[in-house]
Each structure stands twice: as structure tokens, then as C-alpha cells.
């Protein structure tokens, strides 16, 4: 790696705006979002459903659906803008540069292909591996992500594996090309808590071993505090707050971050009822211009005082 690439951040997103077209009208789903991911660092992108966090990930992979597009902003990966050249850069970068772990391996793995094939088809195509080499590499990768007796499972189909094993297969597939940046779209939501802890430990190990940056999207602050050193908080498509994990979680400046923290179940307060933030992030088409968390608080404060009064 040359000196210049050591200096610049691995990923620098600046002023990212994503528009979504619904029934012929454009809505701003992401507005002016900026953050940075360094090498060997895990950055948490935190927000509720509808905050636009998954959209941000997909835009960085060039995998937005047909009705969504990046309207302005830039994303520099190793100094080169991903969105330049009308998105043609993505193909070269996917896999070996940036890879992605999807939320639900049950739907993100090809249901009719063997898991071994799915782990290595990317690298096999890139490096021209033989069938035997690819299979051996798949077994190696499966062992690396903690799948027991991988030689017995390499020829299995996704439906023959448990949810935790499937997510490990997905992780193995996304790190098979040793990417510099791994995008994670809530990869532990479909898993039970013990498996979740194992998978988080796995990501942490990969970050250290591959010197890879991780951009981890989640609504779960417990996960973030375990894995990430820096955090950005998204609300309704806008960046609310960002900083080191210690700053943001220990001393949140914004009401929304405080509300999210208060809604996180705590193990040191057993018997406490689960608390939630009243209301939901409004759907894109119902969102007034300049929508903020204060407006949601104002809407819901009278009948649901619990969290909001603590702010």
C-alpha cells in the first residue's frame, strides 16, 4: 500500500443525497449525509426503520433499486469517487474493494446454489480458480468464519443450514475476496442473541486481521457499542449526530440519540418494562419539509410521556 492511500480515509462520504421516486414524485430519502470510515475501524450507522440507513449502504454498492438514485454528493473510496463515471466504477470495486453482508441470509443467498459455490463464485471468476481450488478455498473460508466441519457442509444448500450458519456463509462469501471495506446491513437481526455475539466477535476479528474497514448499519445501540469505535446517528434521512462511540453513547447531544439510548433494553435494570420511542419515522411521502425529531416529540408528547419526559 502506498503512502498516499495510507493518508486518505478508506471511505469518505460527503453530502450524500438519495432521492426515491414514488408514483412519479421525487422524495428526498437521504439529505446531506456525511461520514468517514477509516481502515481497521468499525463505523456504526445508527437509526430506526425508515431512517435511510440501508439506502445509504445500497447506494455505496451501486445497488439502489430502479426507483432510487443518488441525486448529489460523493463517496470517495481510497480517494476515487464511486459515483463518478455514471456508476461504472462499482463493478471493479465490488467484491475485492467493497463487499456487503445482507440482513437476511434466508433471502440473500441464492436458494438453489450450493453454499460453497456462493462463497467462492466471486473470487473464482476474478482469479480463474478451478473447481477444486474453489471448493478447497470455500472449505477454508467456512472454517475461518466458525462453521464446524465445513467439508461436510460445503455442498449443502442454504435451506439445509440454520440461520446462524447461513449468516456465517454470507459473511464468508463477502470476505472471500479480502475486501478493504465491509458493509453490514443489520446482519445480526435475524439471529438469536448468543449467535449474534459470536458473529460480532467474528466481524471484530476480520476487522483486525484483514485491516478492513466496517460500516455497520443497525438500530441496535448495544451492538454498536460492542463493535464500533465511531458512530453516526441518522433520523428521517438526515445526520443527527456523529462522533466517537464514547462521546455519542456516553454524552449524547441530541434528543433523538438520547431517546434511542433510553429505548435500549438494559441488563442492569431487570423487570423494567421495555420502553419505546412513541410514533414512527413518518413515511417518505408524509414527511413535511424540514422534518425533525422535535416535530415527532410534539406530535406524541401528551399521551406518551415516558421516554420523552426524561430527555
Contact set with other proteins (CB under 8 A): 58, 61-63, 65-66, 91-96, 99-100, 102-104, 107-113, 121-122, 125-126, 157, 159-160, 170, 173-174, 176-177
Which CB, 69 or 94, lies closer to other proteins?
A: 94
CB of 94 to other proteins, least distance (A): 4
CB of 225 to other proteins, least distance (A): 27
Which CB, 117 or 242, lies closer to other proteins?
A: 117
Strand locations in 78-210 (E): 80-81, 98-101, 181-185
> Which of 235, 125, 227 is closest to 173 using CA atoms?
125
Which CB, 38 or 89, lies closer to other proteins?
A: 89
CB of 100 to other proteins, least distance (A): 4
Name the burial class of residue 140, with classes exposed (0-12), middle (13-18) and buried (19+) by CB atoms within 10 angstroms of its CB. middle
CB of 39 to other proteins, least distance (A): 20
- 146-151, long-range: CB < 8 A, 24+ apart: 146/198, 146/202, 147/172
Inter-CA distances, 67 with 28, 55, 107, 186, Å? 12, 12, 21, 22
Q: Which residues contact 262 (CB under 8 A, 6 or more apart)?
A: 275, 307, 310, 311
Which CB, 52 or 95, lies closer to other proteins?
A: 95
Looking only at the bridges linking them, the beta strands covering 42-46 and 68-77 are unpaired
CB of 107 to other proteins, least distance (A): 5
* Contact call for residues 5 and 76 (beta carbons, < 8 A): no
Inter-CA distances, 281 with 237, 295, 297, Å? 10, 11, 11
Place of cell 434511542: 260
Which CB, 159 or 285, lies closer to other proteins?
A: 159
Which CB, 50 or 95, lies closer to other proteins?
A: 95
Which CB, 73 or 122, lies closer to other proteins?
A: 122
CB of 159 to other proteins, least distance (A): 5
Place of cell 414527511: 287
CB of 69 to other proteins, least distance (A): 14
Amino acid at each position: 500500500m502506498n503512502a498516499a492511500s495510507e493518508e486518505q480515509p478508506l471511505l469518505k462520504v460527503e453530502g450524500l443525497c438519495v432521492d426515491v421516486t414514488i408514483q412519479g414524485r421525487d422524495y428526498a430519502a437521504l439529505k446531506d449525509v456525511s461520514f468517514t470510515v477509516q481502515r481497521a475501524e468499525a463505523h456504526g450507522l445508527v437509526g430506526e426503520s425508515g431512517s435511510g440507513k440501508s439506502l445509504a449502504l445500497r447506494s455505496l454498492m451501486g445497488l439502489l433499486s430502479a426507483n432510487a438514485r443518488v441525486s448529489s454528493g460523493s463517496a470517495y473510496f481510497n480517494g476515487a469517487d464511486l459515483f463518478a463515471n455514471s456508476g461504472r466504477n462499482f463493478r471493479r470495486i465490488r467484491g475485492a474493494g467493497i463487499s456487503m453482508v445482507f440482513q437476511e441470509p434466508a433471502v440473500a443467498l441464492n436458494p438453489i446454489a450450493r453454499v460453497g459455490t456462493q462463497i467462492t463464485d466471486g473470487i473464482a471468476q476474478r482469479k480463474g480458480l478451478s473447481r477444486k481450488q474453489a471448493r478447497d478455498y470455500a472449505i477454508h473460508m467456512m472454517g475461518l468464519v466458525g462453521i464446524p466441519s465445513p467439508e461436510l457442509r460445503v455442498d449443502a444448500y442454504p435451506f439445509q443450514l440454520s440461520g446462524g450458519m447461513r449468516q456465517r456463509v454470507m459473511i464468508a462469501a463477502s470476505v472471500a475476496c479480502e475486501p478493504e471495506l465491509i458493509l453490514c446491513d443489520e446482519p445480526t437481526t435475524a439471529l438469536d442473541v448468543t449467535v449474534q455475539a459470536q458473529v460480532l466477535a467474528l466481524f471484530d476479528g476480520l476487522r483486525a486481521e484483514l485491516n478492513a474497514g466496517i460500516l455497520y448499519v443497525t438500530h441496535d445501540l448495544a451492538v454498536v457499542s460492542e463493535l464500533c469505535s465511531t458512530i453516526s446517528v441518522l433520523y428521517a434521512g438526515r445526520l443527527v449526530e456523529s462522533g466517537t462511540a464514547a462521546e455519542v453513547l456516553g454524552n449524547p447531544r441530541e434528543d433523538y440519540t438520547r431517546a434511542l439510548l433510553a429505548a435500549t433494553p438494559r441488563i442492569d435494570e431487570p423487570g423494567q418494562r421495555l420502553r419505546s420511542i412513541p410514533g414512527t419515522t413518518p413515511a417518505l411521502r408524509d414527511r413535511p419539509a424540514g422534518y425533525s425529531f422535535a416535530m415527532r416529540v410534539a406530535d406524541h408528547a401528551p399521551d406518551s410521556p415516558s421516554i420523552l419526559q426524561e430527555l
